[in-house]
Amino acid sequence: MRLPVALCLFVAASALHAAPPTADAVKAALVRGVTFQHREVARHGGYVYRQSADLSLREAEGIPAPDTIWIQPPGTPAVGEAFLDAYEATRDPACAQAALDAALALTRTQMHSGGWYYSGHFGEQERAPWFHRLDPQGQPLPDPTPTGDRDQPAGWHLTREAKYRGKNETILDDNVTQAALHFLIRIDQALSGRNAEIRGAVEHGLTALLNAQYPGGGWSASFDRYPAQPADAAAYPPIKASYPDDWPRTWPKDFRGCYVTNDELMTRCVTTLIRAHLAYGATDPRPMAALRRAGDFILAAQMPEPQPAWAQQYDEAMKPCWSRAFEPPAISTRESEGLLRSLIEIAALTGDRRYLEPVPRALAYLRKCELPEKKLPRFLELRTDRPLYFTRGPGGKGFEMTYDDSRLSSNYGWINDSHLDEIEADFRAVLGGAPLREKPPVEPGALAETVSGILAAQDDRGAWSTAGGIMRDASGRKTEPVGGVIESATFIANVAALCQFLETAP
């Protein structure tokens, strides 16, 4: 027994004193990792969330069909962005081809309505119900939406009709369409617009996103027909947020509020518009105009005193309203942090300090609501600031609202880390005229150690597998795959670290 222990101690000590990785070794690992993802993991150029190490099982939010890809991050757009990062760091053509194929997987799953659903299908049976712009080979398809339904102004009333739900839905929830557009704009810019299929998808999707924006600057969570023109300002006038006189303490079984900030919807619209402005702003003023409208909406959506922060969802009168059965009308600290970041980003880009004015007030309020250990409750009751939580209902079904945090439902992040210190630092930097930080600073020694671990964890194929991961097999039964699980999120994080190392390497 002594020999293996001594050997382990020797190996550990050697690793601690090993030379830092070389740039050539990191480049080689990047290309191997990208090549494996592209050749072995991809389906039609697209990706899901995870697969078993032997590639026999695939999983996303549920079990996808063999020819189904996922759009919602960390699906295809997020993996495609990592490929582009790898190409910019290595200039290796294998990385460029992987990024291009991911982009084409998106152009061929785009809807006639303008954007993307959570998932995209290439299998004939799964694909049949959907109104795609292009076929799997990239050839145009006619729009089955009746002309009368295509020519109407955008608006929440159409979302509530849900005439083409499950057929032609553009999803802005969970950074779905925004992520796809952000990536396609970036690769279109890298290609100088030379790929007509990608440029066409960007033009169609960006125009839909712009026309779906309400006159006040917000968006709904989805729309299911192409918004040929923006919503009527008379029907959706810009209004400042206010408190409801009262609100139901149980879910009214209606979660389709008009103006949505939940799950990064608003913040990701902002980052996508910033990307569009940087790419096309010299010739197209629309993204900047939409970005300013988005900033104006965030200003208007800030609740008045005594709670100068933001809710997840507002009705047409700009009063907080229910979303899902566990998302009540309330102040939402996570969304508030994201919207504060968006205001700072818009101010940094435009130079307009008007967008910074609400920040100190919101920061001071949210700091008062912090829990011990720099935590924030997700929801704060309107007018009282009491944290709101949810437990499962009788028999484990449904949800019940409570002030008690001792038996929380496991489906949601009820208490989260506070990011107010970082937000305040960014605010003070932009207020002082400094550019906004794109990435937090990393200590070189710590980065080299992280990269060494990433290189050591890569297998001979180029894959990074996580041991002990749990997946579901075709029958839905939980299983622990032999060899571990290949996670798209791990691949993306590893590529980011390797690229960051190369940026600072001699």
pLDDT at 18: 63
Q: By the 8 A CB rule, do 288 and 277 touch?
A: yes
HSE on the CB side for 267, CA within 13 Å?
18
Confidence grade of residue 157 (pLDDT, cut at 50, 70, 90) = confident
Q: By the 8 A CB rule, do 300 and 219 touch?
A: no
* Mean of the per-residue pLDDT values of the chain: 93
* Tokens found for residue 307: 């709670």
Confidence grade of residue 125 (pLDDT, cut at 50, 70, 90) = very high
Helix (H) or strand (E) holding 51: strand 50-52
CATH number for the segment(s) 153-174+199-431: 1.50.10.20
Segments making up each domain of the chain, as ranges: 2-53+80-106+442-460+467-492, 153-174+199-431
List CB contacts of 442: < 8 A, sequence separation 6 or more.
500
Buried (b) or exposed (e) across 361-388, using 16+ Cβ within 10 A? Answer: ebbebbeebeeeeeebbbbbbbeeeebb
- The arithmetic mean of pLDDT across residues 140-160, rounded, is 89
What span, in angstroms and rounded, lies between the C-alpha atoms of 295 and 22?
44
Q: By the 8 A CB rule, do 423 and 362 touch?
A: no
- The SS3 of residue 46 is strand
Cα dihedral 240/285/223/339 (nearest 10)? -40
pLDDT at 442: 77
Per-residue pLDDT at 256 exceeds 70: no
What span, in angstroms and rounded, lies between the C-alpha atoms of 179 and 103?
11
Q: Which residues pair with 314 in a beta bridge?
A: 259, 320
Nearest to 336 by CA among 478, 241, 403: 241
* Tokens found for residue 143: 């729009």
Which tens digits make up the pLDDT trace of 355-405?
999 999 999 999 999 999 999 999 999 999 999 999 999 988 999 999 999
pLDDT at 2: 38
pLDDT at 14: 42
Give a three-class secondary structure readout of 241-301. Answer: CCCCCCCCCCCCCCCCCCEECHHHHHHHHHHHHHHHHHHHCCCCCHHHHHHHHHHHHHHHH
Give the position of tokens 């006038």.
237
Q: Which residue has the higher pLDDT, 151 or 205?
A: 205
Which tens digits make up the pLDDT trace of 308-323?
999 999 999 999 999 9
What span, in angstroms and rounded, lies between the C-alpha atoms of 32 and 45?
17
Which tens digits make up the pLDDT trace of 15-36?
445 678 999 999 999 999 999 9
What span, in angstroms and rounded, lies between the C-alpha atoms of 376 and 392?
21
> DSSP letter at 489?
H
